[in-house]
Each structure stands twice: as C-alpha cells, then as structure tokens.
Amino acid sequence: MTLYSERILSLRYPTAFKTVSSTLLLPSDQDVNNMYSFTSRRSLQHLPCIDLQGFKASGITVIEGSSSMVPEILYRLCAASVILSDNSFNPYALSKVAKSSGTEPRKVLSRIHVARAFTEYQMNALLGEQLCEAIECWNPIVLAISYLPSLFSSSDGRRLFEPILERIKLLTASSGIVTVITSFGGAWHGDQLLASKADRVVHIEQPSKKLVRIIDNGYIFEFMLVPPGQMRFTDFDSTGGDLYGQNSAYLSHVA
C-alpha cells in the first residue's frame, strides 16, 4: 500500500521490475501536476503525463494489466517524496524515476520509510489502525497499493479481502485522499472484486515493446514509447511540452 501526493506525475517511461503488494506514503508538502478539477493541498513538481485525466480525490482508481508500466506508475507517483512499505522496494528504480522527473534522488530516498507485509494478516493489520495513524501523522494526499489482491488468494485471504476494500473505501472518502491500487486485472475473484469497488478502472495493455494502449472510461488512448536516450520535441520546448496531444495520439472512439 502507498500514500502519495495527490496527482499523477508521469507514465511515459515504463521499466520492468518485480513488485508485490506494497504501501507508500507521500507527505502533502510537495507539488504535483493536477489534471483534475479538484482542489489540491499542495502540488509536486510539474511533469508531463500521458494520462489525459488525473486521479480524483476521495475516490479509488484501479490500474490493471500485465504491462510493466502498471507497477512503474507507483514509482512515478512517488518521484518527489514518499513513505514506502514494499516487499520488493527498489531504490535504484526509484532513483532512476526521480532523475527522469528532474528530482534529486538523494532527497527522495531520504524521505522514504519502508515497512513490509509478507502475509494477508500482516497486510490486514497494516491497512487497519496503522494506516489511520500514518494518515494522521503524515497527512498524505495519495494512497497507492500495489497488487493488493495478490496477498489474498487463500481461503482466509478471501474472507479478509472484501472487508479490507470497504475499509479502504471509507478511509479514502473520509480523509479526502486519492487512492490508487494496481492489479493484474485477470478473471480471479480478487481482481474482479477490486474492480467492482473502484470508482475508476484504467486498463493498460502493451501489445509490443513500443506501443502502449490505455482503456479508460470507455475510450482508447494509444502511445508510442520513447526509446531510452532518444531526444523528444518536448526537450526543446520551454513550455514543458504539456500541450494537449503533443506526446500522444488520442483515439476518440469507444473501446
């Protein structure tokens, strides 16, 4: 599970790495680019984003799919400052994301706290009183949970999973935070239950190494990934390249 600042930073450069269920916390004293019309507490550094909509406060967004971009979104979200609990926390991957975001990696890493949940019972405890205390202590803007259903495949896990989702939903609404949860989005009961509890489901497909397809709210967005080290037009654009359509092809037909 993860708590971040309130807005998504960037989804442009996917990097494959192993992740398991995790929790991140981002204090609210930074600036993040807001793509939605809700009031932010503060924002993180402005970054261009291929997602044409941001994440709603007081709502749960599920990002699902087998693409390597799905787990990287959580690192992109915490590219400025976070508190992280993650069984496979990768400081090198986070440093790489921080550099690509124009943020000092040492500064980012110095603000990270790591906690671990190896079982469904530990994650259940983590998402209980400990999460409430963390929110009160750090006043985060975004709660991000990576592959939450993966820890709840046993019979006991299935029994615990739905009450946990209800708890997260209530906490998200009452605290006004943005909650982002990743999953593989398969036919398994846990993935389907998670999607049914979400306010928004974003499905990410990667048919090839270069093409990324995002299905969001019935619309398809397709993007050609920029190879590592290759210059973009936005590298020479003083405005930052965040103009509509500069970095993506928007296909306005329903999925």
**Residue 142: CATH number of its domain:** 3.40.50.300
Q: What is the pLDDT of residue 49?
A: 41
Q: What is the pLDDT of residue 113?
A: 62
> Would you state the structure tokens that stand for residue 128, as one six-digit string?
């209980």
Q: What is the pLDDT of residue 98?
A: 77
Tally DSSP H helices, then E strands, for the chain: 7, 10
Interatomic CA distance for residues 68 and 14, integer angstroms: 6
What is the distance between the terminal CA atoms of the chain, rounded to a whole angstrom? 30
Q: What is the pLDDT of residue 96?
A: 81
Query: Which of 102, 87, 120, 139 minimizes the C-alpha distance to 9?
Result: 102
Contact of 48 with 40, CB cutoff 8 Å:
no
Q: What is the pLDDT of residue 163?
A: 95
The torsion angles phi and psi of 145, rounded to 5 degrees, stand at: -125, 120
Q: Report how many domains make up the chain.
A: 1
Q: What is the pLDDT of residue 228?
A: 65
Q: What is the pLDDT of residue 121?
A: 92
How confident is the model over 131-149, as pLDDT tens digits?
888 888 877 777 878 888 9
Query: Which of 134, 196, 186, 130 minimizes the C-alpha distance to 161?
Result: 196
| Enclosing domain of residue 207 | 2-254
Q: What is the pLDDT of residue 167?
A: 94
Which parts of the chain register pLDDT below 50?
2-52, 79-86, 238-255
Interatomic CA distance for residues 96 and 10, integer angstroms: 13
Contact of 205 with 212, CB cutoff 8 Å:
yes
